[in-house]
């Protein structure tokens, strides 16, 4: 038994040690990965031009903002389907520095196609491809270069820098396919009246990108069998001469640099007639009060560049200041000027105008079935920035990663039951290896002394039998150890009463064989019954 207990103790120690090492690694590894790295494209960092805090302020209810309720998610976008009023929620995934995994992609897909949610994904790499592929979109993941659609940057003396084909412009529509627009509409810039009244139809707006990648859209078999299930619109494109700089040499003639001729920069998908519950117009309620079924639209937009949302490109005032300035005009530029594409209302005033209009058109503001009380108050609509895709601080990294792991494990049914099974097995192992608390009554079960795996020498064997007798007498007479020790030998002998047992305790010359000690053990067991 002693060896079994010792082995069980060692095994349990290994188990506890392994768990402790695992916990430490889970805490330390995320911290090690982010050392020396800073958060980029965050809605809550405003010191650098590559953040998106200006966008957050532009959409919020603060100052002259659009008035949306602003929120964020730090753990994982898998929670989108648990949010309140998903059809009135916009999720912004800008610059995912960590790949969107399959489970997260499934959750976002359901959010759009079943709950009527709204999503914008902006990336210049492949971290969003698992999600994009569910809609038929592929990010190339390498910089796009465009000889015919690049803008100039200027120094403090307003002298242009050497042109970079990676600084790409496009003239984008808000909700129409630019490849299918009539010539008159395609050449028309959105007027101030259209912008102010949120009605950007049959017009386009200049948008600036910095080192975007390209995107390809391929219709699926379902698009053929269910052509009315969704609307697919290419909102912005590169020129037909644009290529993906796969080899990094900037050589348009290199056959290894793909140049498919139809590279997209902004692609929009709309899923109509999704059922949701919300406040409806007076007289349309089918349930108590004014809550009823409502047809809503789920929308997702893929953008080939995260920097298009950055503080640097969000407003003209920011873009036209400091070093490497941008201009609102490309007049006088030969061969690459958006003003040649749209003939009026063609000044670039920052990307803020276009993307605010895009978000407005994706929300349910034009849903006439929705109660005006809801529809006309943008504070009833929330914009959620996905901060979980960004590298976080050293201290917060373990928390963020742990929360994401917990959500992942509890969101997937297979993983959920796998966790339950493993916890159950650990509890079973713990029950097997943790020794039970010993009962004091086993002290008197002396017949099992001879079953000990480790043999005792005769002297030790006798001493244990003697100690067992003394303990039993003390307990029988309800004495403490000190009280028992203070008793005179004559008193103890009288308490024992059995001459053979008295001899066992006090005789120094008497020796016992193992067989005699076993008989003495039997006498000790019977002692309490006679006294």
pLDDT, tens digit only, all 531 positions of the chain: 444 445 555 656 666 666 666 655 544 444 444 444 567 888 888 778 889 999 999 999 888 899 999 998 877 777 787 888 999 999 999 999 889 999 899 999 999 999 999 999 999 999 999 999 999 999 999 999 999 999 999 998 999 999 999 999 999 999 999 999 999 999 999 999 999 999 999 999 999 999 999 999 999 888 989 999 999 999 999 999 999 999 999 999 999 999 999 999 999 999 999 999 999 987 655 444 488 999 999 999 999 999 999 999 999 999 999 889 999 999 988 889 999 999 999 999 999 999 999 999 999 999 999 998 899 999 999 999 998 877 654 344 444 444 444 444 444 555 555 656 666 666 666 555 555 544 444 444 554 545 544 455 666 777 888 788 888 888 888 888 888 888 887 887 788 777 877 777 777 777 777 777 787 788 888 777 655
Contact 265, 216 (CB under 8 A): no
Q: What is the distance between the alpha carbons of residues 145 and 165, in angstroms, rounded to a whole number?
A: 5
**What confidence tens digit (pLDDT) does each residue in 229-281 have?**
999 999 999 999 999 999 999 999 999 999 999 999 999 999 999 999 999 98
pLDDT at position 301 is 98
Cβ neighbour number for residue 171 with a 10 Å cutoff: 24
Q: What is the distance between the alpha carbons of residues 424 and 148, in angstroms, rounded to a whole number?
A: 63
Q: What is the distance between the alpha carbons of residues 299 and 113, in angstroms, rounded to a whole number?
A: 8
Taking phi over 0 as left and psi of -120 to 50 as alpha, with beta for the rest, 497 belongs to left
Provide φ and ψ at 403, rounded to 5°: -65, -40
Q: What is the distance between the alpha carbons of residues 354 and 58, in angstroms, rounded to a whole number?
A: 12
Q: How far is CA 353 from the centre of its chain?
A: 30
Provide φ and ψ at 264, rounded to 5°: -100, 150
Q: How do 167-172 and 205-210 pair as beta strands?
A: antiparallel
pLDDT at position 440 is 43
- SS3 (DSSP) at 22: helix
pLDDT at position 119 is 97
pLDDT at position 416 is 52
User: What does each C-alpha distance from 352 to 34, 66, 294, 488 come to in angstroms?
Assistant: 31, 11, 31, 100
DSSP string, 84-148: SSGGGEEEEEES-SS---HHHHHHHHHHHHTT--EEEEE-SSSTTHHHHHTTTEEE--S-EE-SS
pLDDT at position 456 is 55
* Degrees to nearest 5, angle at CA 90 with 88 and 93: 165
pLDDT at position 378 is 95
pLDDT at position 93 is 95
Task: Name the one residue in this structure whose structure tokens are 């903002």.
Answer: 65
**What confidence tens digit (pLDDT) does each residue in 68-99 have?**
999 988 777 777 878 889 999 999 999 998 89
Q: What is the distance between the alpha carbons of residues 212 and 264, in angstroms, rounded to a whole number?
A: 10
- The DSSP letter of residue 336 is -
Q: What is the distance between the alpha carbons of residues 80 and 116, in angstroms, rounded to a whole number?
A: 11
């Amino acid at each position: 038994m002693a060896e079994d207990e010792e082995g069980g103790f060692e095994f349990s120690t290994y188990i506890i040690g392994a768990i402790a090492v695992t916990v430490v690694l889970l805490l330390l590894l995320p911290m090690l990965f982010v050392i020396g790295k800073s958060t980029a494209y965050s809605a809550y960092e405003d010191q650098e031009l590559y953040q998106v805090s200006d966008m957050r302020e532009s959409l919020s209810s603060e100052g002259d903002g659009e008035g949306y309720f602003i929120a964020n998610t730090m753990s994982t976008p898998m929670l989108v389907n648990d949010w309140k009023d998903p059809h009135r929620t916009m999720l912004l995934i800008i610059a995912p520095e960590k790949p969107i995994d399959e489970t997260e992609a499934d959750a976002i897909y359901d959010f759009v196609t079943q709950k009527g949610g709204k999503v914008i994904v902006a990336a210049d790499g492949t971290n969003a491809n698992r999600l994009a592929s569910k809609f038929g979109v592929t990010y190339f993941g390498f910089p796009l270069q465009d000889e015919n659609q690049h803008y100039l940057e200027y120094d403090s003396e307003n002298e242009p820098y050497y042109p970079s084909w990676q600084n790409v412009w496009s003239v984008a529509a808000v909700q129409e396919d630019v490849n299918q627009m009539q010539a008159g509409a395609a050449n028309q810039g959105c007027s101030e009246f259209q912008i102010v009244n949120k009605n950007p139809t049959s017009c386009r707006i200049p948008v600036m990108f910095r080192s975007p990648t390209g995107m390809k859209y391929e219709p699926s078999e379902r698009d053929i069998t269910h052509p009315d299930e969704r609307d697919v619109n290419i909102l912005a494109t590169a020129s037909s001469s644009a290529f993906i700089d796969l080899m990094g040499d900037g050589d348009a003639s290199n056959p290894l640099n793909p140049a498919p001729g139809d590279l997209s920069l902004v692609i929009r998908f709309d899923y109509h007639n999704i059922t949701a519950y919300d406040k409806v117009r007076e007289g349309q309620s089918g349930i108590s009060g004014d809550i009823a079924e409502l047809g809503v639209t789920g929308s997702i937009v893929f953008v080939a560049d995260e920097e298009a949302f950055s503080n640097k490109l969000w407003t003209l005032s920011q873009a036209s200041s400091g070093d490497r300035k941008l201009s609102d005009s490309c007049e006088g530029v030969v061969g690459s000027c958006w003003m040649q594409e749209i003939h009026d209302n063609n000044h670039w005033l920052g990307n803020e105008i276009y993307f605010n209009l895009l978000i407005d058109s994706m929300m349910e503001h034009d849903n006439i079935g929705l109660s005006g009380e809801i529809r006309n108050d943008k504070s009833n609509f929330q914009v959620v920035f996905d901060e979980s895709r960004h590298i976080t601080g050293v201290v917060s990294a373990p928390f963020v990663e742990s929360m994401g792991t917990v959500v992942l494990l509890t969101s997937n049914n297979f993983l959920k039951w796998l966790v339950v099974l493993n916890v159950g097995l650990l509890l079973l192992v713990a029950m097997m290896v943790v020794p039970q608390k010993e009962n004091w009554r086993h002290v008197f079960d002396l017949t099992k002394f001879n079953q000990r795996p480790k043999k005792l020498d005769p002297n030790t064997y006798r001493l244990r039998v003697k100690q067992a007798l003394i303990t039993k007498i003390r307990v029988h007479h309800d004495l403490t150890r000190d009280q028992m020790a203070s008793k005179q030998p004559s008193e103890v002998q009288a308490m024992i009463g059995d001459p053979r047992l008295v001899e066992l305790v006090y005789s120094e010359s008497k020796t016992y064989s193992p067989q005699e000690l076993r008989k003495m053990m039997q006498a000790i067991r019977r002692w309490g019954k006679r006294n």
